[in-house]
Amino acid sequence: MEQDLIAEPDRDVTEIDQWWRQIDWGCVAGITVLHIGAACTLVPLFLPAGSPLTKYFFSWEAVILFLVLQFVCGISNNIGMHRLLTHRTYKTWKWFEYFLAAMATLNWQGGPIWWVASHRLHHRLSDRHGDPHSPRNNFFWGHIGWMMVKDPRFATLDSYGRYAADINKDPVHRFIETYRVLWHFVVAGICYLIAGWPGVLWGACLRTVAIVEVTGLVNSASHRFGYRTFNTNDDSRNLWWVAYITYGEWHHNHHAYPNSAQHGFYWWESDLSFQIITALSWVGITWDIRTPPKTLLAAPRQTGLLEVPEDAMPERASQLEVARLTS
């Protein structure tokens, strides 16, 4: 029954007291291995200068791999999984959509269907019972703990695919989703061929951990700390330092106007992701970019909270489907 998947809002967000009985050991093992690999990049700091062991943990080729993949995969999360697939805030060519989905799948946050489904549920039930990752339980749960526990709504592709029906019906996205774990090994192998074991540690492990932890801060810290500009029915906040390290995820602005490709509304709210989407439109890769009402952007920031007009950013059909399933 659908009602069994989403409990009443006045209950706790999740049954934390029994979470240990529902651990997703596959996810825990993967996250553990990645963090151990990331920690190994620190080994050269404890080796004597010129140690022959350093070559197994560090090389400048590996560092370059980390920087390139961290940027490409991180940006793909923002402009691909988030602003394109989940909220459809702009349009693009299918080949570019698939490229973004594939690169973002390398972030150990599920494939495109899982990512979109969990995020749409987060918006529908934000900081209420049924929200997949509300930090109202505890900070760790909102940050990364929710990924380590089995959720019946995400047990199979069919069970969570209905929350992302528009993505689920696309055979290419289903292919990416089905083999989402395999892609990690493929990229790790490529990193090894380019830079040996340091390439795996830096380009696969450290890069993935960096993106997982930074994304977790949006779900946890940006629902606990920061400032609010709009009246929203959740705990979302704009936390400046999280927004800067996530290439422009001003989380409270996003919750106020979820169908806007622009998350930074004021001059101090730098939004690199939106700037990239805009730049891509100059060469014909993106178009029909959605932004907040011009009257909002033109007005100075007021003291207190501003009311969000109900019709300012109408929900798309895919999001209305989530509302129907969770009502």
For the chain, the domains span 2-326
Q: What is the mean pLDDT of residues 49-54?
A: 90
Phi, psi at 91, each rounded to 5°: -115, 155
Q: What's the pTM?
A: 0.86
Question: pLDDT tens digits, residue range 264-309?
Answer: 998 899 999 999 999 999 999 999 999 988 777 665 554 445 544 4
What's the pLDDT tens digit per position in 159-208?
898 999 999 999 999 999 999 999 999 999 999 999 999 999 999 999 99
Q: What is the dihedral of CA 237, 242, 243, 249, to 10 degrees?
A: -70
N-to-C CA span, the chain: 12
Q: Which tokens sit at 147?
A: 């990924």
At position 287, the amino acid (one-letter code) is W
Report the percent of the chain where pLDDT is more than 90. Answer: 70
